[in-house]
Amino acid sequence: MAEIVGFRAIRPTRDKVHLVATRPYYTYKNNVLKAKLEDNPFTFLHIINPEFGKANKTKANSNERFEHVKEQFKRFIDDGILHQDKEERLYIYRQTKGTFSCLGVIAGSSVQEYDNGKIKKHEATLTSREEMFTRYLDVVGFNAEPVLLTYENNQQITDFLIDQSHSRPEYEFSTTDSVKHELWCLTVEKTNHLISLFVDIESTYIADGHHRSASSARLHHLKGANKKNSPTAYFLSFLVQENQVEILAYNRLVKTLNSMSVTEFCFKLKQVGELKPLTKLTNPSKEHELVLVLKNEAYTFTPFKHLIDKNHPVNALDAEILTQLVLKPILGIEDLKTSDQIVFSPGNEPIETVANKIYCGKYELGFFLYPATIQQVKKVADHRMNMPPKSTWVEPKLRSGLTIYPID
């Protein structure tokens, strides 16, 4: 079963929700972040950047900085920008961009199910980041950015969500990234009904938010593991059917040819795959086909079939194939997590935009990958393995500050 619970969300008033809810601060360029903080007094960014414009600032990621976050959060409540619902409930949320639409449930998900492996993960987390996020949650006392979870397609849940979405939403607004956001607040009766429908879901899968879920579990073990009905026993999540997430590739941009000439590099590539010139730059059209941009030329690169371990959950992925056949042995990049010779470009960036970074000489070459499927991601999680670093860019990306989960 998938255990979810309703909660008393702290959320923006209807007239200010479009001003409060925001993308995570780290997704903004510095100049854009500065402009938003200067021009919008209601943005949630002011809570997570409490010392904006101040001459004397506390150390980043320090408890002192987190205390200021908590103070700003309280000020938003005191000023009536945020308010808390009186009853525990679930929230239905829909995000639409162009032809892509995603309808799901904002809820509390169980730390116990996370610990027991019923909430499955496919990514290794860094202990240092876990510890920092745990301290953050403990000090500020709220969780504002949901973990994205997927579950197998379930017609009863689908029918219920669609039926509820026919009513007028509590929130309906569009943001400057051309995304439409809608949110419905369920009654207690409908909340309980939806909770009962999730009992039939055997497992859920983390699509995005591994560090957030791991930190929430760590906080519960430190603070509330022995407390009945502790608010730390659940973490903020957005649950969607697996057919409603969009997985894009993470492409690789490399700064060096490892002291080789272009001719030498291409010769070595041809020892492990087929290299064909491209007359027109385009994304890969199928699995195990990669697009290579080298200097001012573009190619398709297809690894030889006998070098692909098709039955292995990780080794069969294009991102891992590229690492094991090219990045490590030919380009000398041993650790993708620590190397300063490689950067990752999410698949939502147009290929022409990324390729221009190579044409202008900022990078020597770039590899564009075919996206992994949700079934491949689930297979990795089911085998308790980890996806290669930066191998999936998952949509939807949720807004911070839309429904805030109180911890203390």
pLDDT confidence band for 226 (50 / 70 / 90): low
pLDDT at 29: 86
Establish whether the linkage from the previous residue to 329 is cis, with ω within 30° of 0: no
pLDDT confidence band for 230 (50 / 70 / 90): confident
Where in the chain are the domains? Answer: 4-246+395-406, 250-370
pLDDT at 397: 87
Give yes or no for a contact between 87 and 210, defined as CB atoms under 8 angstroms apart: no
Mean pLDDT computed over 338-342? 94
Does the structure show a pLDDT above 70 at 18? yes
Cβ neighbours of residue 323 under 8 Å, at least 6 residues apart? 333, 336, 388
Give yes or no for a contact between 253 and 357, defined as CB atoms under 8 angstroms apart: yes
Give yes or no for a contact between 396 and 180, defined as CB atoms under 8 angstroms apart: no
What pLDDT, in 10s, does the model give residues 21-68?
A: 998 888 888 899 999 999 999 999 999 999 988 888 999 899 999 999
Mean pLDDT across the chain: 95
What pLDDT, in 10s, does the model give residues 154-203?
A: 999 999 999 999 999 999 999 998 999 999 999 999 999 999 999 999 99
Mean pLDDT computed over 201-214? 96
pLDDT at 50: 93
Mean pLDDT computed over 106-112? 96
Does the structure show a pLDDT above 80 at 381? yes
Cβ neighbours of residue 4 under 8 Å, at least 6 residues apart? 90, 105, 107, 108, 109, 110, 195, 198, 237, 239
Shortest CA distance to 301 belongs to which of 316, 317, 286? Answer: 286
Give yes or no for a contact between 148 and 245, defined as CB atoms under 8 angstroms apart: yes
CATH 3.40.1350 fits 250-370, yes or no: no
Does the structure show a pLDDT above 80 at 228? no
Q: How far apart are CA 100 and CA 312, in angstroms?
A: 31
Reduced to 3 states (helix: H, G, I; strand: E, B; else coil), residue 23 is coil
pLDDT at 387: 96
What pLDDT, in 10s, does the model give residues 73-94?
A: 999 999 999 999 999 999 999 9
What pLDDT, in 10s, does the model give residues 262-315?
A: 999 999 999 999 999 999 999 999 999 999 999 899 999 999 999 999 999 999
